[in-house]
Structure 1
Amino acid sequence: MGSERDECSVTIDGIAPALVVLFRRAAAIAAEHGRTWVGVEDLYAALAEDERAPLWWPRVGKPRRTRGVSVAVLSTELPEDTVPLSYNEFRDLVNEWIPGPTPEIGPEDPATVTYQISGPHAEEFTAMIERS
């Protein structure tokens, strides 16, 4: 393997500008932790640290809230009356946050992702991506 390094570059067309900010913050978090690559963990950390990020959270004794009703938008400093969630409940709640169609916003065509991988593990990484 010598000094050859794994490299992966990704191009995403058709994303919201807020994602550029999120990806940049994730890259900064990775660098702050001494890494030259960005992982899923860095993305989670970037999502969780932004107090401006909207979080819709179930609250004790109140009906489930979604985008379709009066939504309580909370900061990352959640009030005490929120409901603790299991992983499956959290995953279901996150899926409720996904907005419906926005035909007047964004590009005409659906978003696309392209990538290039090189290095000693390129074949393994490509196989992993293509299986997903």
Structure 2
Amino acid sequence: MIIESYRENAEIYHGDSLCKQKSIELLQELSLPKGLLPLDDLVEVGYNRPAGFVWLRQKKARQHVFRKIGRNVSYATDVTAFVENRRMKKMTGVKSKELLLWITLSDMYIDDPASGKITFKTPTGLSRTFPVSAFELEEEKK
């Protein structure tokens, strides 16, 4: 498994509340929207800074609907990516539903922060661009 090869030299966190906090801090550090990884029951988050490799492990796969753009996204139990400022590359474990098909997402990036747009790419090179605001953290419902 790819995660095991990056454990050495990685910051590793355990427990749902700490992992959620660290995943949000990571997204902030990368200048990405804080609601981009709405995962539940996180058991582990790891970040190997020298390699730029991140992983998030949750108890079970999860689907989430980004209401502002009407997109259903599926997150596997393990989500991994190589990260840099405003970008996640070689992602695994993330799929988006297009019509009736689940499409694997491999990259996401914000080329120009002033544009307010984030682009998602598939391994075949197809891409879609959405407003960054659609992926902001949804506040807890009271």
> What TM-score results when the alignment is normalised by the length of structure 2?
0.25
From the two aligned structures, give the one with the greater helix fraction.
1
Structure whose alpha-carbon radius of gyration is higher? 1
From the two aligned structures, give the one with the greater strand fraction.
2
> What TM-score results when the alignment is normalised by the length of structure 1?
0.26
Greater length-normalized contact order (CA 8 Å, ≥ 6 residues apart): 1
